[in-house]
């Protein structure tokens, strides 16, 4: 049940107008035009205005009114998606799911739907502890039951799959038993997929008896940082900024705002070579994909990136709303095999 302070007459999918007030990492701070909150019992202010976060990589003007779609509330602040999504409101109105499930559906139906990662499954780092939870073939287990058990256990970590029959490799990261990132690739195929489709394709592979599975735990901070790459907001980059300037801007803004997210670095390649993890504003480590190595010491990576000053860099954040009780964040792990 939502906390009393989260009360609002708005429902996931409802269209509103927001007035842009400030620039924030990944978007803009705004107020909902005509939107009011219930007054606090100890406050002399009657019905304070409703504040909002509007993700956007498009440049907006302070004072500009923009159409938005309501997702959810957290700490008396609304999360929006930028612009109305055609058909979304009608779909949610007919939904029998909870507001928390609908809020996630609204989120993935809009801005993050375009997030496609061009990289093999080595993008997901190996076990930090070096200990595997499971390593097995689907012929020797009930994959559907395994996933359901992991969901019920609120498993946090990674599942990788290899199918020789389909010549495919796939992987997904899981947070508390829900899928928050997924990659699916086949030999000689260049196509990349959004999380929902990659997850469904991986689920189909798990029905094949020859598919080989590897299951292992990962730290919560690593998983949530990675989730920002798939289901988060991208921080817009000013084309006039150098690589070093943008790197410093992203790190500083995420630290000041206490954001969780990641910074991806592609050195001399269009593929991601290094990922910096930021958890609640703190730079938590660097993962070098080619070496399959993770280190909490990020100094070497930062120095190398600044010295070369020619890497392709992207930064993503995971809005705090998505991690609150207002949203059922991620896809149910036990539901990916139908």
Decide: 55 and 107 in contact? Cβ < 8 Å. Answer: no
- CB-based contact 77:10 (threshold 8 Å): no
Q: Is the pLDDT of residue 140 over 90?
A: no
Is 11 found in the same domain as 102? yes
Structural domain total, the chain: 3
Looking at the structure, do residues 93 and 138 belong to the same domain, yes or no?
no
107 and 72 share one domain: yes
- Give me the pLDDT at residue 1, please: 36
337 in a structural domain: no
- The boundaries of the domain holding residue 188 are 121-223
Task: Indicate yes or no: pTM above 0.85.
Answer: yes
Same domain? 110 vs 125: no
Lowest mean pLDDT among 3-7, 108-112, 188-192, 234-238: 3-7
What 3-state class would DSSP assign to 5? helix
Listed in sequence order, the residues at least 6 apart from 296 whose beta carbon sits closer than 8 Å to its beta carbon are: 284, 285
Q: What CATH number does the domain containing 19 carry?
A: 2.40.50.140
- Whether residue 29 is found in the same domain as residue 67: yes
Q: At which residue do the structure tokens 């920002």 appear?
A: 228
Mean pLDDT within 1-30: 77
Q: State yes or no: pLDDT of 8 exceeds 60.
A: no
**Mean pLDDT across 134-139:** 85
> Closest by alpha carbon to 187, among 205, 203, 166?
166
* Residue where one domain finishes, among candidates 174, 189, 223: 223
Domain boundary among the residues 114, 133, 149 is at 114
Q: How far apart are CA 253 and CA 276, in angstroms?
A: 15
Is 18 in contact with 32 (CB distance < 8 Å)? yes
44 or 322: which leads in pLDDT: 322
Cα 43 to Cα 34, 35, 38, 281: the distances in Å are: 20, 18, 10, 31
Distance, in Å, from the CA atom of 110 to the CA atom of 103, rounded to the nearest integer, reads 11
11 and 105 within one domain: yes
Task: Point out which residues pair with 29 in neighbouring strands.
Answer: 22, 53
Strands of the sheet with 233-234, listed across from one edge? 233-234, 312-318, 260-266, 274-279, 282-288, 293-295
Residues in contact with 35: Cβ distance below 8 Å, sequence separation at least 6, in sequence order = 10, 16, 49, 50, 52, 78
In this predicted structure, the answer to whether residue 111 has a pLDDT above a threshold of 90 is no
Looking at the fold, whether 62 and 138 belong to one and the same domain comes out as no
List the 168-175 sheet strands across, edge first: 134-137, 212-217, 157-163, 168-175, 178-186, 331-332
Given 60, 91, 114, which residue is the final one in a domain? Answer: 114
Considering the domain architecture, whether residues 16 and 99 belong to the same structural domain is answered as yes
Confidence of residue 5 (pLDDT cuts 50, 70, 90): very low
What's the CA gap between 288 and 223, in Å, rounded?
Answer: 16
At residue 30 the predicted structure's pLDDT band, cuts being 50, 70 and 90, is very high
pLDDT of residue 270: 73
Asked whether the beta carbons of 222 and 277 are under 8 A apart, the reply is yes
Separation CA 75–CA 68 (nearest Å): 19
């Amino acid at each position: 049940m939502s906390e009393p302070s989260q009360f609002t007459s708005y429902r996931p999918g409802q269209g509103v107008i927001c007035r842009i007030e400030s620039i924030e990492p990944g978007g803009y701070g705004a107020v909902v035009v005509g939107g009011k909150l219930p007054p606090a019992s100890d406050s002399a202010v009657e019905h304070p205005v409703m504040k909002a976060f509007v993700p956007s990589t498009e440049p907006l003007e302070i004072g500009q009114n923009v159409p938005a779609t309501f997702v959810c509330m957290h700490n008396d602040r609304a999360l929006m998606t930028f612009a109305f999504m055609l058909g979304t409101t009608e779909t949610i109105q007919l939904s029998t799911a909870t507001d928390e499930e609908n809020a996630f559906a609204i989120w993935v139906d809009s801005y993050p739907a375009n997030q496609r990662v061009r990289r093999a499954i080595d993008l997901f780092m190996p076990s930090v502890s070096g200990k595997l939870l499971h390593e097995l073939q689907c012929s020797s287990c009930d994959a559907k039951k395994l996933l359901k058990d992991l969901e019920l256990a609120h498993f946090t970590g990674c599942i990788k799959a290899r199918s020789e029959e389909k010549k495919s490799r796939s992987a997904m990261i899981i947070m508390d038993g829900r899928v928050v990132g997924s990659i699916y690739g086949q030999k000689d195929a260049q196509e990349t997929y959004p999380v929902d489709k990659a997850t469904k394709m991986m689920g189909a592979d798990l029905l094949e008896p020859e598919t080989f599975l590897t299951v292992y735990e990962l730290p919560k901070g690593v998983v949530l940082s990675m989730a920002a790459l798939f289901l988060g907001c991208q921080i817009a980059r000013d084309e006039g900024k150098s690589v070093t300037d943008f790197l410093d801007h992203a790190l500083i803004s995420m630290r000041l705002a206490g954001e969780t997210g990641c910074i991806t670095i592609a050195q001399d390649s269009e593929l991601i070579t290094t990922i910096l993890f930021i958890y609640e504003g703190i730079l938590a480590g660097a993962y070098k994909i080619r070496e399959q190595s993770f280190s909490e010491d990020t100094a070497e990576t930062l120095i190398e990136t600044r010295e070369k000053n020619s890497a392709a860099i992207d930064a993503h954040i995971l809005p705090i709303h998505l991690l609150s009780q207002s949203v059922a964040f991620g896809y149910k792990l036990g539901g990916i095999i139908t």
